[in-house]
Amino acid sequence: MLILGIECTAHTFGCGIANSKGEILANVNSEYIPTSGGIHPREAARHHASVAASVICDALKAAGKNIEEIDGFAVSLGPGLGPCLRVGATAARALSLYYNKPLIPVNHCVAHIEIARLMCKIDDPLVVYISGGNTIISAFSDGKYRVFGETLDIALGNCLDTFARYVGLPHPGGPHIEKLALKGSNYINLPYVVKGQDMSFSGLLTMAIRKFKDGAMLEDICFSLQETAFSMVCEVTERALVHTGKDAILLTGGVAANRRLRVMMESIAKDHGVVFKAVPVEYARDNGAMIAWTGVLSLLHNVTIPVDESFIRPRWRLDAVDIPWRMNKHEVNKEGC
Ligand code: ATP
Ligand code: FE2
């Protein structure tokens, strides 16, 4: 089985091609980078519409496949920015209708998890998914990816990007903050907000900006911002790990590229005697391959959607999605087979 997947939830228009052996045959992505400020949804959508055809053709070329060989078209219907989601959905619907092949709805958050499980060869981890739009600690239980901690307001990546923009660093800010943080050493007290299993980053962002206005050294603020935000995630991760009893921590999402975060996660894993893996950077950020691979899993379990019901779902939650490819296995295991 060969599935073509389209990613189009925010800054990236991506096209991936995957087969049922878990091989990624193509992963072509075009990122919209704003000339100033953050991501403007309509401008990002305009970028996606202008590159869609060439990205899809390049992916087919890279895979050495003809479009007639594709068995289904997968698309991330959410969560994400409405105008961007609409471009991807329109492209996938058109392909599905024209080539008379199934349309497969994919939840973007599920896709981040599935590509990480595939790439890192970890079956049943506690997932730490941190990106520009999401901060979620999740584990599989009883048919769904359950949420064992999340942000109450902005995502960690968004906190980093917004701070970076304020202090004049390019977008996306995460990698620039990481570099500057290496040169900082004085910890500046910043709000550390964990409520039960949930986190809040908006007060942290406001205070980091205030420290900058007050003349604190940028390197020290970057260092303190990372230490505070990552420690919050670590606290929640550690509790979720003990609660769920999983034997591995898997880091995914764009912020997974951060070395300091990886070191902190690794140290938790070591303390608890569990495995730690982070998804390779190419598959950590938004990409078409993760949609294609989740499309394969979905189609193998007959998860498709009629074109006229394929509405975009900008607020589609991770824990609202059934995961039949793991449910069946879970049920088989329960019967001891
Ligand atoms: P989602 O829709 O899943 O929320 P996204 O649109 O935010 O995804 P991703 O590509 O998964 O897209 O993540 C982008 C985020 O990752 C940005 O906030 C960026 O600053 C952050 N990031 C990238 N590299 C690093 C890094 N080295 N350190 C910290 N943050 C990073
Ligand atoms: Fe993402």
Centre of ligand 2 to C-alpha 212, Å, is 29
- The residue written with tokens 């049922």 in the block is 20
Centre of ligand 2 to C-alpha 21, Å, is 24
Atom 10 in ligand 1: residue holding the nearest Cα: 285
pLDDT at 329: 59
**Which three-class secondary structure string do you get for 304-324?**
CCCHHHCCCCCCCCHHHCECH
| Nearest ligand by distance to the CA of 254 | 1
| Superfamily holding 114-282 | ATPase, nucleotide binding domain (3.30.420.40)
Centre of ligand 1 to C-alpha 174, Å, is 7
Is the CB of 78 within 6 Å of ligand 1? no
Atom 19 in ligand 1: residue holding the nearest Cα: 174
Q: Which amino acid is at 72?
A: G
Q: Are 47 and 318 in contact (CB under 8 A)?
A: no
pLDDT at 327: 82
pLDDT at 331: 45
- The residue written with tokens 């050495």 in the block is 64
Q: Where are the domains of the chain?
A: 2-107+287-318, 114-282
pLDDT at 37: 78
SS3 288: helix
Of all helices (H) and strands (E), which one includes residue 25?
A: strand 24-31
- The residue written with tokens 């009883």 in the block is 142
Is the CB of 224 within 6 Å of ligand 1? no
pLDDT at 328: 60
Listed residue (159, 160, 157, 244) closest to 197, CA to CA: 244
pLDDT at 312: 98
Q: Are 24 and 291 in contact (CB under 8 A)?
A: no
pLDDT per residue as tens digits for the range 97-117: 999 999 999 999 999 999 999
pLDDT at 39: 85
Centre of ligand 2 to C-alpha 236, Å, is 21
Nearest atom, ligand 1, residue 11 CA: 6
pLDDT at 34: 86
pLDDT at 334: 42
Listed residue (31, 314, 9, 30) closest to 171, CA to CA: 31
Q: Can 2-107+287-318 and 114-282 be said to share one CATH topology?
A: yes
To test ligand 1's pocket by mutation, which of 225, 255, 265, 313 has the most ligand atoms within 8 angstroms of CB?
255
Please state which CATH class domain 2-107+287-318 belongs to: alpha beta
pLDDT at 332: 41
To test ligand 1's pocket by mutation, which of 7, 85, 131 has the most ligand atoms within 8 angstroms of CB?
131
- Residues lower than pLDDT 50 in the chain: 330-337
Nearest atom, ligand 1, residue 285 CA: 10
Nearest atom, ligand 1, residue 80 CA: 2
Rounded distance between C-alpha atoms, residue 206 and residue 210, angstroms: 6
